[in-house]
Amino acid sequence: MTITLPDEMRTTLERKASAAGFATVDEFIADALTDDDEAGSTRPPDFRTREEFDRLIEEGFASGPPIPVDKAFWARLDTRIRDRAATREGPQ
């Protein structure tokens, strides 16, 4: 199937596809057309109604105790990521 888009729309889709980690607009569009429930979808869950939004919020509340996200949290996360990256790279 071939779809012709205006240049402005194509540019916008190229930017969005790149930001989402897709190599091409074709991949981005194909993923966007994939059902959210399909295994392997790279898109985050979305919601289209207030009820769906409320359900997702409730799931979040039920997922466990809250985690404070402050400067210390981000510093710990940064350290963990750097440590894991160093472990994977091995001695240099």
Domain chopping of the chain, boundaries: 7-89
Give the pLDDT band (50/70/90) at residue 22.
Answer: confident
pLDDT band of residue 41 (cuts 50, 70, 90) is low
Higher per-residue confidence, 75 vs 66: 75
Residue length of the chain: 92
DSSP letter, residue 44: P
- Residue showing tokens 């979808």: 41
Sign of CA dihedral 23, 29, 32, 34: negative
**Of 30, 35, 38, nearest to 13 (Cα)?**
30
Rounded to 5 degrees, what angle do the CA atoms 11, 12, 16 make? Answer: 115
Are 36 and 43 spatial neighbours (Cβ–Cβ below 8 Å)? yes
- Per-residue model confidence (pLDDT) at position 70: 93
